[in-house]
Amino acid sequence: MARKGTAFSIGNLKPIRKATVPGEIIEQIISMVRAGSLKPGDKLPTERELGELLDVGRSSVREALKGLETTGLLKRTTEGTILCEPKEMEQRAFWMSTINTSIHEVFETRKLLEIEIVGLAAERSTPEDIKRLEEAIVEKCTLEEVSVSDTLFHRSLVEAAKNSLFSVVYHLVTGLLFQTHRYYSFLKHDEEFETFLKTIFDQHRKILKAVESHDALSAKEAIKEHLDYAEKKLLGSLEAGPADRN
């Protein structure tokens, strides 16, 4: 039951600078749920109010809320849009990053999604998309920055695909798809860590070149090579374990 009169705290909401990015709206709302700023029964502002708070159009807000409603996180009632009780979130696996899956399962899923996504990106990308992809590639950075850069690059590919449903679904499962970044802490102690990073960024550039050239086949081949390499490297690191790296 909704808690009538519950005040919605806007302190954690930040204006969104890109146009029509429902995925970013989804990410902010999910982050507030995980942080406890939004609790079951809380009522969200109206679409118009959220649009003003986030500095985006109502169509983007509507698309994001529909995506969250599909996963069971939100529900529409006569009183407004309400955050569901945990027992009602039957499809919560879509937004919870705490679910443990194997490295192989994660990369198997990413290949199914991203190989097709990058093909669309190669066909539909604009100069603005290419610029975002270029900005996401960081040459030298900390372990944390590597994770951010990698996630941003792949999200930018999704944006370049120009498919709003792909965008919503991908952002909903981002926490699951990139949970393998926690294994980078093993690679950090590997003497080949720098080589690993160089290879990853070289592969990103190869994907970018294919997308920029609108070569869908080469883009698909490049991202499969990239994901196969990352999976193999992380599996090898996990098998060795942190104890073997002292």
Q: Residues 84-125: pLDDT tens digits?
A: 875 555 444 444 454 556 788 889 999 999 999 999 999 999
CB atoms within 10 A of CB 138: 17
Which pLDDT band, with edges at 50, 70 and 90, does 141 fall under? low
Q: How far apart, in whole angstroms, are the C-alpha atoms of residue 135 and residue 15? A: 20
User: In Å, how far are 39, 129, 130, 184, 233 from 187, measured between CA atoms?
Assistant: 37, 30, 29, 5, 9
CB atoms within 10 A of CB 238: 15
Q: What is the pLDDT of residue 73?
A: 78
What structural domains and CATH numbers belong to the chain?
A: 22-91 (1.10.10.10), 97-245 (1.20.120.530)
pLDDT-above-90 percentage for the chain: 33
Q: How far apart are the first and last CA of the chain?
A: 53
CB atoms within 10 A of CB 36: 7
User: Minimal CA–CA distance to 181: which of 160, 153, 157?
Assistant: 153
- pLDDT, tens digit, 9 for 90 and up, residues 152-193: 899 899 999 999 888 877 876 776 677 666 666 666 665 677
Supply the mean pLDDT for the chain.
Answer: 78
Which tokens belong to 76?
């529409």
Q: What is the pLDDT of residue 135?
A: 87
Alpha helices in the chain (DSSP H): 22-35, 47-54, 58-71, 103-124, 127-136, 143-160, 164-172, 174-177, 184-187, 193-212, 216-240
Q: What is the pLDDT of residue 150?
A: 86
Decide if pLDDT at 56 tops 70: yes
The larger pLDDT score, comparing residue 213 to residue 174, is at 213
Decide if pLDDT at 2 tops 70: no
Residues with Cβ within 8 Å of residue 132, at least 6 apart in sequence = 156, 159, 160
* pTM, 2 dp: 0.63
Residues with Cβ within 8 Å of residue 182, at least 6 apart in sequence = none
Decide if pLDDT at 214 tops 60: yes
Q: What is the pLDDT of residue 45?
A: 93
185-200 burial, b at 16+ Cβ within 10 Å, e below that, comes to ebbeebeebeebbeeb
Residues with Cβ within 8 Å of residue 170, at least 6 apart in sequence = 23, 113, 117, 155, 158, 177
Residue 208 dihedral angles phi and psi, to the nearest 5°: -60, -45
Q: Which of 59-73, 105-119, 141-155 has the highest mean pLDDT?
A: 105-119
Q: How far apart, in whole angstroms, are the C-alpha atoms of residue 85 and residue 10? A: 21
